[in-house]
Amino acid sequence: MARAVPLQLLALLGLAALAVAAAGANAAGRKMVGVYELRKGDFSIKVTNWGATLTSVVLPDSKGNLADVVLGYDTIAEYVNGSSYFGALVGRVANRVANARFVLDGKAYHLFRNDGKNALHGGKRGFSKVIWTVKEYVAGGDSPYITLYYHSFDGEEGFPGALDVYVTYQLSSRYELRLHMNATALDKATPVNLVNHAYWNLAGQGSGDILGHIIQLFASRYTPVDATLIPTGAVAPVAGTPYDLRAPTRVGARVREVSGGKAGVYGFDTNFAVDGDAAALRKVAVVRAGGGASGTGRVMELWANQPGVQFYTGNFLDGAKGKGGKVYGQHGALCLETQGFPDAVNHPNFPSMIVKPGQVYRHDMVFKFSF
């Protein structure tokens, strides 16, 4: 069985091999840790193959001023040692698995416990803590993109079966970012739930909290949770609850009405059941930056083809130092993680996340920005 490389060693390797890839370079098969930029006019993103992580999204506001609207770090070493999953591609199973255990085809599987007694975001060494291979990289042109690959071995973090995983980041139109994730089960049935864990602040990273942002979720149901954020198994209507975000709602108007998962912590950390056909690409959410004279006018529209979306309001951001020395305090950003339902492996009534040998898991996200 392959052995995990200590994170301290990976940090040194990452720094030693760090290469900012040249525009247009053919990086197929590259295994060193690098930072890769995609650019289309005044819209650009950066991605690193450490954790297939989205490290920046730069775009203008209504006055033409450019800003980076995702939280992150300045160095690869900080991503290696960080614990907030800034921009990461999370798997094999994102979100929580109760008691770090599930039964599949009559066999019990035990995962690494890294969230109390539960497993979170794939375990101690999930997909966000490994080096991905750059398969294709086109930095400019009409539709710049980068495709990254990772092979997850049978038994990695306790999950059954080998898995081939790909993710593509693409600037598909003027202000549109597309993510395509797919994973093929090679030899055993296995659960798969991949998410992108970008933290968004449409006023600019490090500019303050997102309590003035306006959010609209196209979801009429949600999955209630217990005190450890494990779903109870119910899929309940949002009508008449603080979770009803079907109409545009200021985040700060509701954030104190919902539990953040621990005593004294408040804010959303909630899976919503997205309305419509779970297999179809459909509108999930619209987020607008806070208004007023200093408002940026930025709007983000999210489309995806997953049954759920985790809305998280940065409840556990605790003053971490981010890009450019900015300090990220509580509610300094929000996450919209389209996904399968949390702990679906232990709830037969939830949409299944099991991928059988030869089958392909597919997850598409489209971020559309306007000003």
Residues forming the active site: 197, 337
**Residue 248 CB: number of other CB atoms within 10 A?**
12
Is 271 known to sit in a ligand binding site? no
Quote the CA–CA distance of 327 and 337 in Å, as a whole number.
23
Is 151 known to sit in a ligand binding site? no
What's this model's pTM, rounded to 2 decimal places? Answer: 0.91
Two tokens, residue 55: 């490290």
Is 42 known to sit in a ligand binding site? no
Average pLDDT of the residues in 351-366: 98
Residue 15: pLDDT over 50: no
Is 269 known to sit in a ligand binding site? yes
Is 110 known to sit in a ligand binding site? no
Digit-coded pLDDT (tens) for 227-262: 899 999 999 999 999 999 999 999 999 999 997 666
Q: Show the DSSP H helices in the chain as ranges.
A: 7-17, 76-81, 251-254
Strand partners, 67: 59
| 3-state class (DSSP) for residue 82 | coil
Residue percentage of the chain with pLDDT more than 70: 90
Residue 321: pLDDT over 50: yes
Two tokens, residue 15: 């720094």
Average pLDDT of the residues in 355-371: 98
Letter string b/e over residues 223-242, b meaning 16 or more CB atoms within 10 A of that residue's CB: bebeeebbbeeebeebeeee
Digit-coded pLDDT (tens) for 17-72: 344 333 334 444 457 999 999 999 999 999 999 999 999 999 999 999 999 999 99
Q: How many CA atoms lie within 13 A of 320 on its CB side?
A: 24
Digit-coded pLDDT (tens) for 184-226: 999 999 999 999 999 999 999 999 999 999 999 999 999 999 9
